[in-house]
Amino acid sequence: MIFGSFVGGMADWGGRRTFVVLYAILYALSCMTKRKYQTVLKWKEWACILKATFVLLFFIWIYSLKRNSMLSKMKLEINRLPILWHFDAGSIVGWCGDILAL
Stretch that binds other proteins, among 31-39, 65-73, 80-88, 93-101 (CB under 8 A): 31-39
CB of 41 to other proteins, least distance (A): 9
Stretch that binds other proteins, among 29-37, 57-65, 66-74, 81-89 (CB under 8 A): 29-37
Distance CA(1)–CA(15), nearest Å, equals 21
Measured from the CB atom, is 40 or 100 closer to other proteins? 40
Does residue number 49 form part of the binding site for other proteins (CB under 8 A)?
A: no
Distance CA(11)–CA(26), nearest Å, equals 15
DSSP 38: S
Does residue number 52 form part of the binding site for other proteins (CB under 8 A)?
A: no
Cβ neighbours for 19, distance < 8 A, ≥ 6 positions apart: 8, 10, 11
Distance CA(82)–CA(90), nearest Å, equals 12
Measured from the CB atom, is 15 or 90 closer to other proteins? 15
Q: Are 71 and 78 in contact (CB under 8 A)?
A: yes
Does residue number 18 form part of the binding site for other proteins (CB under 8 A)?
A: yes
Residues making contact with other proteins (CB under 8 A):
1-40
